[in-house]
Amino acid sequence: MALYSEKVMDHFQNPRNVGKMDDADGVGEVGNAKCGDIMRMYIKVDQDTQTITDVKFNTFGCGSAIATSSMATEMIKGKSIEEALKLSNKAVAEALDGLPAHKMHCSVLAEEAVRAAVKDYYDRNGIEYGDELRQCDGHCESCGHEH
């Protein structure tokens, strides 16, 4: 059996939504404590509907990080912020038909980057949020969130 699914290879070789967003409403940057890789996620938010209308990402991460982030951007684009916050790294890995166990930690980068971008959006707009997000300082091991 191949180590990586066709979907992982596709998203790694043709990542969706790569780039920078100059007029982003929220930017999240997170680092993966296990490997030192970093990820930056940009979101554009429709203020009236609290919907994520556009997403971009940049990463100094491995192939699995690129593939999971690419898939994560597709999964949250057009969704409400509330739904985006529910996105788990497991759900992203499942949507990619799985990741090797030793690469699951790479998918955490995508989930945390989404959460950090939303937190930044909330901070910029003075929107209150719960403790779970408040603890999220971009280092997944310290946020207490279950992965």
By beta-carbon proximity to ligand FES, the closer residue of 37 and 111 is 37
Helix (H, G, I), strand (E, B) or coil at 127: coil
By beta-carbon proximity to ligand FES, the closer residue of 84 and 99 is 99
Nearest to 109, CA basis, from 132, 82, 143: 143
Pairing of strands 51-60, 26-31: unpaired
Decide: 57 and 40 in contact? Cβ < 8 Å: yes
By beta-carbon proximity to ligand FES, the closer residue of 35 and 127 is 35
Catalytic residue list contains 106: yes
User: Any contact of residue 96 with ligand FES (CB under 6 A)?
Assistant: no
Among 106, 136, 140, 143, the one annotated catalytic: 106
User: Any contact of residue 35 with ligand FES (CB under 6 A)?
Assistant: yes
Decide: 81 and 51 in contact? Cβ < 8 Å: yes
Among 5, 7, 10, 62, binds ligand FES (CB under 6 A): 62
Would you put residue 126 in left (φ > 0), alpha (ψ -120 to 50) or beta?
left
Min. distance of Cβ 44 from ligand FES in angstroms?
25
User: Any contact of residue 32 with ligand FES (CB under 6 A)?
Assistant: yes
Among 61, 70, 84, 116, binds ligand FES (CB under 6 A): 61
Residue partners of 94: CB distance under 8 A and separation at least 6? none
> With CB under 6 A as the contact rule, which of the stretches 10-18, 40-48, 56-64, 135-143 interacts with ligand FES?
56-64
As a whole number of angstroms, the distance between CA 58 and CA 37 comes to 11
Residues designated as active site: 35, 106
Could you list the residues that contact ligand FES (CB under 6 A)?
32, 35, 37, 61-62, 64-65, 106, 109
